[in-house]
Amino acid sequence: MATTRPKKTYRDLVVGFAQVGAESEWRTGNTASIKEAAEELGVELIFADGQQSQENQIKAIRTFIAQQVDVIGVSPVVENGWDSVFQEARDAGIPIILVDRRANVDESLYATHLGSDFVEEGRNAARVMAKLLNGKGNIVELTGTTGSAPAIDRYKGFREIMQEYPEIHIIASVDGDFTRARGKEAMADLLKQYGSQINALYAHNDDMAIGAIKAIEEYGLQPGVDIKIVSIDAIRDAFQAMIDGKLNATVECNPLLGPKFFELALKVVNGEAVPKWIPSSESIFYPENAREILPSRKY
Ligand code: AHR
């Protein structure tokens, strides 16, 4: 007679999570969401901070495999180079869940992907920017970490829409690594090179936009006025920048993935079917109602 294995509960789960690092406020919010959800649900979480290094993340995954965790969550810092370690997890019978960022691997190597539609975020940023510029002007772009899924997709989505605007030109695109410090540095260089030719800035995240705002002020121009700015994430500081008139819009990217991640982990461990991709539903925010919305923002 066939015996059915009893279903696991949250309290039975041991989950390893290989995080990207702490490069942005978004990431801090994402880490907090994962840790808080584990605590609330009673899941045993083994958390590893990859400090923006793929090598560190791969090492962490190998440690989780040796520890025989039930599920591994990972937000891959870059898209490529995961095949071998994901295969090792598969061989050990440990499902991988991609959280936030995608990995460029065969679909059989992961159970599901929980995260935003980064291409659509890029398209939305472009739609807003085209309106702000009345269809005409020069844009500089600060991209996220080279080779990362959000940087690749936000670059692509933005250009898809901008093709429809022949009088808008993307005159420069520079890696700002998703950090405030790099955003400021890169914008200062761009201002030195292009000065008042720059009409707008598209930043792949709010942190880089906030760094760039400082560089624009130090250069003697008014961010949000002389240079229109659209960025992505919708962190609390972006709302403050909009209230201060320094940022023209932020496209939301939701980091509060903790509860859904553990719900999926439990389903996967218990052999329940899950979709291959669970995108988040996200909005666009503008200065007009930033003051009213800010108090309710959780990250
Ligand atoms: O992968 C999501 C991106 O990573 C966020 O937009 C950015 O702020 C973070 O560092």
Which helix or strand (DSSP H or E) is residue 230 part of? Answer: strand 228-233
pLDDT of residue 196: 95
Q: Check whether 137 has a pLDDT greater than 80.
A: yes
Q: Which amino acid is at 7?
A: K
Tell me, using a 6 A CB cutoff, whether residue 258 lines ligand 1: no
Q: Check whether 127 has a pLDDT greater than 90.
A: yes
CA of 26 to the centre of ligand 1 (A): 6
pTM for this predicted structure: 0.97
pLDDT of residue 4: 75
Give Cβ neighbours of residue 161 (< 8 Å, ≥ 6 apart): 122, 123, 126, 127, 130
Tell me, using a 6 A CB cutoff, whether residue 153 lines ligand 1: no
Over residues 83-102, the pLDDT tens digits come to: 999 999 999 999 999 999 99
Identify the sign of the CA torsion 184, 187, 192, 198: negative
pLDDT of residue 270: 98
Q: What is the mean pLDDT of residues 239-256?
A: 98
Over residues 138-167, the pLDDT tens digits come to: 999 999 999 999 999 999 999 999 999 999
Nearest Cα residue to 95 out of 271, 253, 225: 271
Give SS3 for 15. strand
Give Cβ neighbours of residue 121 (< 8 Å, ≥ 6 apart): 150, 153, 154, 157, 232, 251, 253, 282
pLDDT of residue 5: 78
CA of 87 to the centre of ligand 1 (A): 26
96-99 sheet: strands from edge to edge: 44-49, 14-19, 71-74, 96-99, 112-114, 277-278
User: Do residues 171 and 138 make contact, with C-beta atoms less than 8 angstroms apart?
Assistant: yes
Q: 2 falls in which pLDDT band (50, 70, 90)?
A: low
Task: Return the percentage of the chain with pLDDT > 70, whole number.
Answer: 99
Looking at ligand 1, which atom is closest to the CA of residue 207?
8
Nearest Cα residue to 129 out of 228, 49, 214, 216: 228
pLDDT of residue 110: 98
